[in-house]
């Protein structure tokens, strides 16, 4: 048993919901790791990630020989790494994200350097000697009543402009006098987006790490529902006028697709915005969403940097493309006030009791 009493240990963002006093020591890894297992590791070599996001959100440099505390998890990032929790106890693994998610890289974008390598020192344990898993510290369901209209933001891919769309909607609605809350439902642990939502004026901000998960890639639909319901009910407790939820990656990605097909979302979402990078992505994405019964209020994201592509997309779909300036000038708020919330008639009657 080794004590975790050195002031030089660097605790990653993924550990932020776990009280320090719970993490007393570490013991050798003897069983196959699980999603959410908290681990101590020594940095062997620096690759893609030369910094670690700490519990408080600051990024600090890491160096060979440093001791860090991270969490085992999977990662799906089309412009970075694909990585997984190892199936057996291991001696070495990779740092999959700046937020401290650990695993083994399976594939990488061609622009990526090699991953930062780690040597596993052991599982972090509590005073009783039990290995700690992040999921034990996730949010409990709130008993709050439905409050506020729910806006869902999805996109064509990673970096299509979803987070900027959420932040701009928060700013626009906040400026119009509405109380807005926001959350990131899926993704890989990192605090940057949540801090952006807060800076845009969201009064309460949560993400899947608050629900006890370092990442959401390869979770079951039951786990995704648990995260979604926990975040939604806890945000409702602040009695917002609007709750804005972002689902990571593109609409063809595994978890995004599962959630969009879910009756739980269909019974709780009132509006949807679609972020995309070009006109072809808009036409394909809108058509795919329409086939599933989703009808976006507007298109946003990286495409709005090009007036020509906006024109192509609007001609192909008949749906407005809103720039940041247009949203801030009140056009998004006007859309939300004018258009009634979705009504998924075929799902609502059967699912209202299930969700309750």
Residue 143 confidence (pLDDT): 76
For residue 142, pLDDT beyond 90: no
pLDDT tens for each residue of 83-119:
999 999 999 999 999 999 999 999 999 999 999 999 9
347 has a pLDDT exceeding 60: no
Q: How far apart are CA 104 and CA 204, in angstroms?
A: 34
Cβ atoms 164, 323 nearer than 8 A: no
What average pLDDT does range 233-247 have in this prediction?
A: 97
pLDDT for position 135: 98
| C-beta atoms surrounding 252 within 10 Å | 12
More confident residue, 121 or 351: 121
How many other β-carbons are positioned within 10 Å of the β-carbon of residue 247? 25
For the chain, give the percent of residues with pLDDT over 70: 96
Q: Which of 134, 253, 127, 119 is nearest to 186 (CA)?
A: 253
- The mean pLDDT of 259-272, rounded to a whole number, is 96
Distance CA 340, CA 57 (A): 38
pLDDT of residue 161: 98
| Confidence bin at 342 (pLDDT 50/70/90) | confident
Judge whether residue 290 has pLDDT over 80.
yes
Contact residues for 197 (Cβ-Cβ < 8 A; gap 6+): 166, 167, 170, 182, 184, 205
Instruction: Return the CATH number of the domain spanning residue range 149-348.
Output: 3.40.50.300
| pLDDT at residue 351 is higher than 60 | no
- Least confident stretch, 74-78, 140-144, 289-293: 140-144
Predicted local distance difference test score (pLDDT) of residue 353: 37
Q: What is the pLDDT of residue 204?
A: 97
Average pLDDT over every residue of 243-253: 98
- pLDDT higher than 60, residue 355: no
Domain boundaries, the chain: 2-136, 149-348
């Amino acid at each position: 048993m080794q004590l975790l009493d050195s002031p030089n240990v660097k605790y990653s963002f993924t550990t932020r919901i776990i009280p320090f006093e719970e993490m007393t020591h570490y013991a050798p890894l003897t069983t196959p790791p699980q999603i959410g297992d908290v681990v101590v590791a020594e940095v062997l070599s620096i690759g893609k990630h030369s910094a670690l996001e700490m519990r408080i959100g600051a990024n600090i440099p890491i160096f060979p020989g440093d001791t860090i505390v991270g969490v085992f998890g999977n990662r799906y990032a089309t412009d970075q790494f694909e990585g997984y929790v190892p199936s057996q106890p291991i001696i070495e693994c990779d740092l999959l994200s700046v937020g401290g998610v650990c695993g083994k890289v399976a594939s990488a974008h061609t622009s990526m350097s090699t991953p930062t390598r780690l040597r596993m020192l052991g599982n972090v344990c509590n005073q009783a000697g039990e290995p700690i898993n992040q999921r034990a510290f996730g949010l409990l369901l709130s008993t709050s009543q439905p409050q506020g209209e729910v806006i869902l933001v999805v996109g064509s891919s990673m970096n299509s402009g979803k987070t900027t769309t959420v932040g701009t909607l928060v700013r626009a609605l906040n400026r119009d006098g509405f109380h807005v809350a926001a959350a990131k439902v899926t993704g890989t642990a990192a605090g940057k987006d949540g801090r952006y939502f807060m800076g845009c004026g969201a009064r309460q901000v949560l993400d899947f790490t608050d629900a006890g998960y370092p990442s959401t890639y390869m979770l079951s639909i039951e786990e995704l529902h648990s995260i979604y319901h926990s975040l939604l009910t806890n945000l409702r407790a602040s009695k917002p006028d609007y709750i804005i939820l972002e689902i990571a990656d593109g609409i063809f990605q595994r978890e995004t697709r599962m959630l969009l097909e879910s009756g739980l979302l269909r019974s709780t979402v009132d509006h949807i915005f679609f972020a995309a990078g070009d006109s072809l992505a808009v036409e394909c994405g809108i058509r795919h969403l329409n086939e599933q019964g989703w009808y976006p209020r507007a298109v946003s994201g990286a495409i709005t940097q090009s007036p020509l592509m906006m024109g192509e997309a609007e001609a192909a779909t008949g749906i407005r493309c809103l720039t940041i300036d247009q949203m801030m000038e009140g056009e998004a708020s006007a859309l939300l006030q004018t258009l009634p919330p979705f009504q998924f008639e075929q799902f609502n009657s059967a699912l209202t009791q299930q969700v309750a």
